[in-house]
Structure 1
Amino acid sequence: MSSTVEPTEIGNEPVHLTSDMRIINGYNAALGSPFQRHQVSLQTPQGSHFCGGAIISQEWIVTAAHCVVDRFLSQMRVVAGTINYASGGTTHTVIAASYDANYNPSSPYPYDYAVLRVSPPFTFSSYVQKIALGSGRPISWCFATGWGKTSPLSGLSSTLKYARLEAHAYSDNDCKPWISGYVDEAHLCTWDPTRNICS
């Protein structure tokens, strides 16, 4: 059942939401929507999507370190400005990559972030923009976007999905029973009983 949620903002643009948004059984993002403009697809040179990322400037994106470790720059390209990773948008070469020296692929997820420099630079438009960075204020919810699986048995979604997730902060000890082996002091643990970005 859907109910109205007060308007909120993505950057400076008001967005009207419903309470049942999720990636699994989630909503398709519209071209030019606040959920689409910052989102990029990391792909092989042949066009296979393997990770998502967000535009942070005209030349840089942020993504997960596990997406780029052990990959040559020539094995990646970035596609922006589309809701379907297999068509449309603009394609950019990855010319530099950097991730935290503390990241360890054999230790799940601590310091799992990376930045990639692209060429040519992004041309900002109504379909391509940098993501609005957080204000530093505590949050009670967040948005997730991506082309991931929409159920445990499905393939990747060809259309960009988005969801509004509750962001309740928990201590590491509270989280460990749910995701044992994946939580340490470098993590911020959040959980929502009704929504999921994983399959």
Structure 2
Amino acid sequence: MHRNWHIIPLTCLCAGMILLAGCDKKEAAEISPTPDVTNNATSTPNTTTEGTLDPTQTPNSTTDTTNETTAESPIIKPKVDSKDSYRATKPTLMGISLQTSKEATISRFGNPPSQFRMEDDAEAINVLEYMDFSVGFNNANKLQFIEVRTPNVDPGLNGLRLGQRTQDIVSALGKPDQNSKYVLSYKSQGTVLKFDIDIKEDRIQSIKLFAGT
């Protein structure tokens, strides 16, 4: 049988060329690696690591004082000097007399938290209201009355305060000019020092100094 020997070398040559081309492609693939997309992609710098500032956050430039307690200034009560305490020869209340001017009163106690005008049948009275007491002046700025409203202040009556008993009045100031179930009063130098009494509790419920005979 006649064989085509001349075809065999040609076939081998073609196979060798194909094999060589395949090797070249493999080497090219190994030389040119596929780009790492994750490495080449633009990444946002980690700005939250220790020692760095996150630009998306506002810098804390102020001190947090939310939990700090602000101490309130203590309320200073007016004190009456012993020389300004009530005496029959010099009737006073809260250390001031009916001859004390409005300017001197404000200078002593400061500006009142509130004030109002009280219309009276005789004349209008401008009332200055302080925390524990009030004072009233007429249109000529002459002091008309001083009234103590709470037991939280010493009115300058030898230790006597609102809320104490009737007997304490006598012990502090002596025998009154008027003595009834409802009122005890002392008259001196054209003034009246009046104590209104709560008869159920037998306690002082108001103290007032005003002009009178």
Q: TM-score, normalised by structure 1?
A: 0.29
Larger radius of gyration: 2
* Higher RCO (CA < 8 A, seq sep 6+): 1
Larger % of helix: which?
2
Larger % of strand: which?
1
